[in-house]
Amino acid sequence: MALQLPASQETEQGEPAMKELYQSADWKKEKHVPVIEIQGKPAKDQSVRILVTVGKEIAHPNTTEHHIEWIELYFHPTGEKFPYLLGRATFASHAASVNGPNTSTIFSEPEATFKLKTGKSGTVHAASYCNIHGLWENSAELILS
């Protein structure tokens, strides 16, 4: 389930609002969308493991010039105003070395596992950042049994 954004919302200076800078799409067709996989059967006050991957169906390039820099995951409990930041995974190795771009053969891959405990159901929101194609988002319902 993708976050529903208004068609147009600008600041007084004519710049798009922050939320309009996030793009979303079907992750099976768009390689930038963070894919959220809530593992197991979430239960109240029990650890829940959430895997977030960018490029699950269609691999995203991972080169010095073009790569995913980070993934963030938020939890927004149902009925509350503010989300909680669960964490940020930063991917720092993209094949660069002292010999230049694309020479090291060392690649961080854009996948991260987060764990949380919650007493409330809600929505998890993932954001990812490509150094060329910007911000992407996706969300999933976390329903406790």
Residues within the interface to Fe ion (CB under 5 A): 130, 132-133
Return the number of the residue (76 or 133) whose C-beta is nearest Fe ion: 133
Q: Which of 41, 44, 66, 117 is catalytic?
A: 66
Decide if 31 is catalytic.
Answer: yes
Decide if 125 is catalytic.
Answer: no
Q: Which of 30, 69, 109, 111 is catalytic?
A: 30
Decide if 60 is catalytic.
Answer: yes
Decide if 66 is catalytic.
Answer: yes
CB of 60 to Fe ion, least distance (A): 6
Return the number of the residue (36 or 130) whose C-beta is nearest Fe ion: 130
CB of 10 to Fe ion, least distance (A): 25
CB of 47 to Fe ion, least distance (A): 32
Q: Which residue is nearest to Fe ion (CB)?
A: 130
Decide if 133 is catalytic.
Answer: yes
Residues 145 and 137: their CA atoms lie apart, in Å, by 26
CB of 58 to Fe ion, least distance (A): 11
Written as one letter, the residue type at 127 is: A
End-to-end CA gap in the chain:
20
Decide if 32 is catalytic.
Answer: yes
In sequence order, what DSSP letters do the residues of the chain get, joined into one string?
Answer: -PPP--S--B-TTSPBPGGGGEE---TTT-TTSEEEEEES---TTS-EEEEEEESSSSPPP-SSSS-EEEEEEEEEETT-SS-EEEEEEE---BS-BTTBTT-S--B--SEEEEEE--SS-EEEEEEEEETTTEEEEEEEEE---
* Active-site amino acid positions: 30-32, 60, 66, 130, 133
